Structure 1
Amino acid sequence: MSAEMVGLSIILIGILLIVGKWIRVRFSVFQKYFLPSSILGGFIALILGPEVFGKLIGQSQGNSSLLSNGVFPEDVLSTWLTLPGLLISVIFATLFLGKKIPNIKDIWLTTGPQVSFGQTVAWGQYVFGLLLTITLLTPFFGINPMAGALIEIGFEGGHGTSAGLSETFQQLGFADGANLAIGLATVGVVSGVVTGIILINIAVKKNKTNILKDPNNLPEDKLRGIIKPDDRPSAGKMTTQPESIEPLALHIAIIGVAILAGKALLEALIYVESITWGAWTDTEILTHLPLFPLAMVGGVILQILIDKTGKFNLIDRKMILRIQGLALDFLIVSAIATLSLTVIGENFLPFLLLALTGITWNIIAFIFLAPRMIPENWFERGIGDYGQSMGMTAAGLMLIRIADSKGETKALEAFGYKQLMFEPLVGGGLFTAASLPLIYEFGPVPILFLCLAIMIVWLIVGIFYFGKK
């Protein structure tokens, strides 16, 4: 694969993002449901690629015709296949960089109710996914038992986690799982935004919201996703003189150090496993663990060291977020563009059952558990967790900003703090990455009971501790 093809692949993703943005601005139906430009661009690439346009050409003109693989060169598609696995480490390494790590007590007091609700939903996705797989999908459809983890990987983890685990799926003999997870992530994001908007409208009509009273009067620039010139915030601060080092280059380098620290930590853990329980029992878990959750740990360690030793405050959080957003947009486009519709078609009924189970559990949990676990401003604070549980942190942030645009309920602050006690473990964290090898090594039933026990603990904490406050 030549450097020119890698460059062309990146340029094409940029063009797809611009086309997706134009569609969002031009057509009100996409504005109404706040669909991101990256998802629209990804769908365009999927339609023009070998799975849709290429197959239509192949059926009409033969598989040897010029466009039987779609409009994109094969090397471009190969490059897009590798991008998600690389970019997910960038995204996770940036989660806590440039953000002062508060003590656990402050986090717990500020965001404890949302942590308990979010954890309950996440572990519930494992519980109901594993139950569905054990009772129906494996015995009747012959699907791999690891499918029980797909709801949490696709919904809580999103496109990044789903694509990042593709190598793990292949290593464990369930290669189709990556495409199913990415498909679920796409269903989750789209249905999360659509149902989130519907829930907001219903809540307004039933007087359940404390801030928003008319969601239909959102400003046009908000619908189009364009910030007015006078309201545009800075994208980041110049923390260094460009003649010494370009600030953007510095921040990219710092992210690289965090990823490298995560890689070193992963290799150390694999080595420890190989000379201890791995050698004693022939059980390998950490060998199948991907890099990205350890890249997040590397970012946390690096940030703690900077907090203790750094005196120049060279990391700007807004600059880090811009890099994170760039990686996420490119990841989503490339992941959807290379999605295998054939795999989803061959497993359509199991895929549909998994999607419906995940959506149903998330909606029921939000309607019945959020008001009982979040004692104050439950809707504004819970709607963010609902959006995140459907596949994207950005979707959760967007729903919070619709329900509480001025931040009067502190939902945004609590949502941010929540990630410190949420993402290290689930939603793409260590257990999300380890769930596949755990099911592979021990089977789905023990993991089901483990997830059920953890879900019940968080449920009790949320209802009987925070819910009573």
Structure 2
Amino acid sequence: MTPNQIGFALLYLGLFLLIGKWIRVRVKWMQNLFLPSAVIGGFLALLLGPQVLGNIMQNFTGEDSFWATGLLSQTILDVWTPLAGLMINVVFASLFLGTILPNLKKIWNIGGPQLAFGWTLGWGQYVFGLLLAILVLVPFYDMPPFIGTLIEIGFEGGHGTAAGLQGTFEDLGFTEAYDLAIGLATVGILSGVIIGIIAINWGVRRGKTKVISNVQDAPALRKAGIIEFEDRDAAAKMTVRPESIEPLSLHFAMIGLAILVGYALLQGITWLEGVLFGSEFMTYVPLFPLAMVGGILVQITAMKFDKVNILDRQMVMRIQGFALDILILSAIATVSLDVIGEYIVPFLLLATVGILWNGFGLFYLAPRMIPSYWLERGIGDFGQSMGITATGLLLMRVADPEMKSPAYEGFGYKQLIFEPFLGGGLVTALSAPLVVQLGPIPFLILAAVMLVLGLAFGLFYFGKMKS
């Protein structure tokens, strides 16, 4: 593979992102669903690639023809396949860079209800996923027990987490788990957005919302994913002079430093485990959760020594958003439809259990666990539990476009405690190896205890704060 081939494959990514955005602007029903352009572009690339268009054209042109791979050559797919696993390190290293880390008391008071609710949803995905695996998927479909962790990995963790665990799944001897997890992540985003929009409309009609009166009254530009002219403030601040270093370059370098710190931590922990215990458990752990830890350490250091605040959170978020777009498009475009087709019944069972649990959480648990603005706040945690943080933020933006409720602040504070563990954190990264090492029952017991803990705090502590 030559540098020119790699560069051309990356240009193709940009092309499909642009086409996805154009479709979002032109197609009304996609606007009403607020589908991200990366998801649209990813699906289009999947349809135009070898698995759909290529298979169709082979029947007419033969397996050796130009059209046998559709409009995407195998070289392009070879470049795209590892991108998601690389970009997830950028996403997680960026989570806390440029933020002010508040004290735990403020996090608890404002973000506590959403933390309890999100914690309940996340651990519940493990509980019901493992029960499904133990009772159905292992005995009837001969699948490994860790398959029960894929609901949380795919839904809560999303495409990036699933991609980051590809090597782990290979080491655990069931490579098909990667494609199933990517498929679940795709189902999670789509169903999360659809159910979320339906829930907000239902809440408006039933008087459950306190901020908006009609979702469909959103401005046309906002539906198309375009910022209104009067709201086009600077997306990032120039904290350093470009003649010394381009601000984008500086922030990219800081994110790279966070990833390197995470890599050093991972190598050190792996070496220490081998020396002290002679085991190799940490070799199953991907880099991205440690990249998040590296980001926290870099941020703490910056807060202590950087007196001129050169780190701009908005600039970091732009880099993070770029990495997330590349991640989602490449992950969807390269998912194996053959694997999903082979395991279609287990796949549908996992997806159905995850959707039902999260739906139960939103409509039944959220009103009882979140003392005020339960729909505006709960919809964000529901969106994250279905399809990563971006989906949660999207739904909160629909439910509370002017940020009049405590939803955004509570969601942000919740992330500081939630993300290091679930939704792509250490627990998510370690769950499948732990199930393999310890067996499904011990991890199921742990998940059940954590679920009960979240329910207890949500229902009997925060839920009782209602006036």
What are the equivalent positions in structure 2 for 1:279-290 lying under 5 Å apart?
Answer: 279=278, 282=279, 284-290=280-286
Q: Residues of 2 paired with 1:98 and 1:273: CA distance?
A: 32
Q: Residues of 1 paired with 2:6 and 2:171: CA distance?
A: 26
Deviations along 1:266-298, one digit per CA (max 9) or x if unpaired, are: 011101111223x2xx4x321100000000000
Asked if structure 1 preserves the Cα contact closer than 8 Å seen for 2:222 and 2:228, the reply is no
Asked if structure 1 preserves the Cα contact closer than 8 Å seen for 2:87 and 2:327, the reply is yes
Q: Match of 1:154, as an amino acid? A: G
What are the equivalent positions in structure 2 for 1:69-468 lying under 5 Å apart?
Answer: 69-277=69-277, 279=278, 282=279, 284-468=280-464
Deviations along 1:73-99, one digit per CA (max 9) or x if unpaired, are: 222111101111110000000000000
Asked if structure 1 preserves the Cα contact closer than 8 Å seen for 2:20 and 2:37, the reply is yes
Q: Residues of 2 paired with 1:8 and 1:233: CA distance?
A: 33
Aligned to 1:39: 39
Secondary structure of the structure 2 residue equivalent to 1:52: helix
Give the aligned length. 465
How much has 1:138 moved relative to structure 2? 1.0
Asked if structure 2 preserves the Cα contact closer than 8 Å seen for 1:112 and 1:418, the reply is yes
Asked if structure 1 preserves the Cα contact closer than 8 Å seen for 2:236 and 2:314, the reply is yes
Q: Match of 1:426, as an amino acid? A: L
Secondary structure of the structure 1 residue equivalent to 2:51: coil
Q: Residues of 1 paired with 2:47 and 2:411: CA distance?
A: 35
Q: Residues of 1 paired with 2:395 and 2:353: CA distance?
A: 22
How much has 1:60 moved relative to structure 2? 3.0
Deviations along 1:412-442, one digit per CA (max 9) or x if unpaired, are: 1111111101010000000100011101111
Asked if structure 2 preserves the Cα contact closer than 8 Å seen for 1:160 and 1:331, the reply is yes
Extract unaligned runs of 5+ from structure 2: none
Deviations along 1:95-143, one digit per CA (max 9) or x if unpaired, are: 0000011111111111000001000000000000000011001111112
Q: Match of 1:229, as an amino acid? A: F
Secondary structure of the structure 1 residue equivalent to 2:396: helix
Higher mean displacement: 242-251 or 63-72: 63-72
Q: Residues of 1 paired with 2:6 and 2:101: CA distance?
A: 37
Q: Residues of 2 paired with 1:59 and 1:459: CA distance?
A: 55
Asked if structure 1 preserves the Cα contact closer than 8 Å seen for 2:286 and 2:429, the reply is yes
Q: Residues of 1 paired with 2:72 and 2:376: CA distance?
A: 43
Higher mean displacement: 456-465 or 254-263: 456-465
Asked if structure 2 preserves the Cα contact closer than 8 Å seen for 1:285 and 1:434, the reply is no
How much has 1:3 moved relative to structure 2? 1.4
How much has 1:5 moved relative to structure 2? 1.6
Extract unaligned runs of 5+ from structure 1: none
How much has 1:330 moved relative to structure 2? 0.5
Q: Residues of 2 paired with 1:360 and 1:233: CA distance?
A: 40
Q: Residues of 2 paired with 1:377 and 1:332: CA distance?
A: 31
Q: Match of 2:337, as an amino acid? A: L
Q: Residues of 2 paired with 1:131 and 1:205: CA distance?
A: 36
How much has 1:409 moved relative to structure 2? 1.1
Q: Residues of 1 paired with 2:255 and 2:163: CA distance?
A: 20
What is the RMSD of the two structures over their aligned residues, measured on CA atoms? 0.9
Higher mean displacement: 224-233 or 415-424: 224-233
Secondary structure of the structure 1 residue equivalent to 2:82: helix
Q: Match of 2:64, as an amino acid? A: S
Q: Match of 2:267, as an amino acid? A: E
How much has 1:234 moved relative to structure 2? 0.9
TM score, norm. by length of structure 2: 0.98
Asked if structure 2 preserves the Cα contact closer than 8 Å seen for 1:236 and 1:316, the reply is yes
Runs of at least 4 residues off by over 3 Å:
none
Asked if structure 1 preserves the Cα contact closer than 8 Å seen for 2:61 and 2:67, the reply is no
Q: Residues of 2 paired with 1:261 and 1:88: CA distance?
A: 15
How much has 1:402 moved relative to structure 2? 1.2
Deviations along 1:347-388, one digit per CA (max 9) or x if unpaired, are: 000000000000000000111111111111111110100011
How much has 1:54 moved relative to structure 2? 1.1
Higher mean displacement: 16-25 or 406-415: 406-415
TM score, norm. by length of structure 1: 0.98
Q: Residues of 2 paired with 1:260 and 1:444: CA distance?
A: 33
Q: Match of 1:58, as an amino acid? A: Q
Deviations along 1:238-285, one digit per CA (max 9) or x if unpaired, are: 1111111011000000000000000000011101111223x2xx4x32
How much has 1:213 moved relative to structure 2? 1.2
Q: Match of 1:21, as an amino acid? A: K
Identity of aligned residues (%): 53
Asked if structure 2 preserves the Cα contact closer than 8 Å seen for 1:114 and 1:374, the reply is yes
Q: Residues of 2 paired with 1:319 and 1:29: CA distance?
A: 31
Secondary structure of the structure 2 residue equivalent to 1:390: helix
Secondary structure of the structure 2 residue equivalent to 1:51: helix
